[in-house]
Structure 1
Amino acid sequence: MQTQTHDLAFTATEVRKRYVSWDRGEAEREWSCLTLLARHAPGVAPRPVRRESHDGAPVVVMERLPGEPLGGAPLTPMQTAALGRVLRRVYDVPLESVLAAGLEERRYGPTSFALTVADWLSDSYELGECRDPELVGGAVDAAARWLTTRTFPQPQLVALGIADLNPANVLWDGQTCRLVDFEDGGLTDPAYELADHLEHLAGRLGGVFDAEALVDAVGLSDAERERMRAYRPLWAAFWLAMLLPGNGGFRRNPPGTTEAQAAHVMALLD
């Protein structure tokens, strides 16, 4: 599952992002995404400056953007509208340019992610560490069954996506949102992206995103909204897996977070 993937160093004008290794292709994805956005949607994300290596690890150097990370409070209507506009600019990067850049499906993309999460949930966990092992175990079993029997929408890999919309990856300067952290980005479906964004634990627990308002701001079609709703339980199940004992999310979050996520998963499945 997810672990720390990079270290950051800042100057007044640049951010130097050093990745842990070459193995998962984060540096390549980030550079390709930033290059496409600089060409087709300037101002949405940092401008890529140069590539380096340090102690055998890849480095991407990018411009330093103004603004402060979101996430400390629910977004205002102005912030939601601005975030919707910037996400739409990302999705509107011409598909032929994304394909020509050689970008493949985003990490944890829609073609195989359900089976991956089901496999994670099938592992053995010491649920006795949970406050309510019965609730958590029931949610794990229900989510695993749902993931292996559910027929998901046919993936529509038609757009570029950031993948990880932790609110901390959205910078706000008082008027404009800008996005950082494209190391998992790539070819995707906007409906799948929004499901991921709305279920992100850092945003959902703090009520950062107003789901309906953000979807409206992005401008999803009726068909896309239907696909988004179909994908939300998948991402809720992903966060349940991350919050199980032995995984990083269990250690980093307050006691009771796993139970709250289990209840959320059950509510979505119902």
Structure 2
Amino acid sequence: MPSHTHDVTLDGAEVRKRFVNWADGEADREWRCLRLLHDEAPGIAPRPLRRETVDGHPVVVMERLPGESLGGAPLTAEQTLALGATLRTLYGIPRERVVAAGIEERRYGPSTLPAALAGWLDDIPDLSACRDPERVRAGIAAAREWLARPGGIREPRLDSLGIADLNPANILWDGRTCRLVDFEDGGLTDAAFDLADHVEHIAARLPGVFDVDALCAAVELSTDDEARMRAYRPLWAAFWLVMLLPGNGGFRRNPPGTTEAQAEHLMALIG
């Protein structure tokens, strides 16, 4: 499951991102994504400056971008349009350029997340610390049933570059433009899959940061892609239900009742 992967320090005009280890390839993904973005879509992400190794840890050094992190409150109409334009640029980078840059599928991508999630749902911890364990069990059962449905997951595509983690804190707003940071999990993806990830991110959904319809319109998703995005949302809602179970960081960081509310949200999406 996802865990703490890096530390960030600011040094004047530079940002130094020190990764915990080499094992999961976060530093490689970050560096390759930033280099490609600098070549294909300069201005929407930090310019990569150099790579270092410090005390055995990989470090990516990048430029420090202007702006303040979004999150905690709904985006304005202007911010939604700006974010849509940035995501369109990101998703519009030709697949062949992504592949040529040595960038593979994003972490927990369309072809890997369903199996990983099924494994996590089969290894459920003691739920006695939950406010309503039975409600949480009902959500887990619904997630398992949904994952097992024939045709429940759309045929995955790998034709776009995605950031993967669009926690609103990773969106910088300077009053006109939205820029993106934190590409350590980025890679080839399906735009519909990534957008479902973004709108279901717990840090965005709980405070209502994204208006789903407005963001889809701003990204200019086709009718088919929007339908596919909505079909992927239960997958990410189930992901967050797992992250909010006892023993995981989400359970510790959020107030009592959040896990139960996530179970209700998932069951509402599944219908």
What range describes the TM-score normalised by the shorter chain of this pair?
over 0.9
String of CA shifts for 1:235-270, please: whole Å, max 9, x gaps: 000000000111111011111100110100110111
Partner residue of 1:19? Answer: 19
Partner residue of 1:194? Answer: 195
How far did residue 148 of structure 1 move? 2.5
Partner residue of 1:76? Answer: 76
Counterpart of 1:4, as a letter, is H
**1:246-265 → structure 2 map (5 Å cutoff):** 246-265=247-266
Rounded to whole Å, the distance in 2 between the matches of 1:5 and 1:94 is 29
Matched, 1:242 2:238: no
How far did residue 72 of structure 1 move? 2.3
In structure 2, runs of 5+ residues without a counterpart are none
**1:53-132 → structure 2 map (5 Å cutoff):** 53-132=53-132
Mapped contact 1:115–1:148 kept (Cα < 8 A): no
TM-score by length of 1: 0.98
SS of equivalent to 1:128: coil
SS of equivalent to 1:127: coil
How far did residue 96 of structure 1 move? 1.2
TM-score by length of 2: 0.98
String of CA shifts for 1:67-90, please: whole Å, max 9, x gaps: 000002100000000000001111
Partner residue of 1:216? Answer: 217
Counterpart of 1:21, as a letter, is N
SS of equivalent to 1:129: coil
How far did residue 127 of structure 1 move? 1.1
Partner residue of 1:176? Answer: 177
Rounded to whole Å, the distance in 2 between the matches of 1:189 and 1:96 is 14
How far did residue 150 of structure 1 move? 4.3
Counterpart of 1:248, as a letter, is G
Counterpart of 2:35, as a letter, is T
Mapped contact 2:72–2:204 kept (Cα < 8 A): no
How far did residue 28 of structure 1 move? 0.4
String of CA shifts for 1:7-64, please: whole Å, max 9, x gaps: 1111120000000001000000000110011011110000000000011111000000
How far did residue 185 of structure 1 move? 0.2
Rounded to whole Å, the distance in 1 between the matches of 2:124 and 2:90 is 39
Rounded to whole Å, the distance in 2 between the matches of 1:167 and 1:82 is 14
Counterpart of 1:47, as a letter, is R
How far did residue 112 of structure 1 move? 2.1
SS of equivalent to 1:246: coil
Once superposed, what is the RMSD of the aligned Cα atoms?
0.8
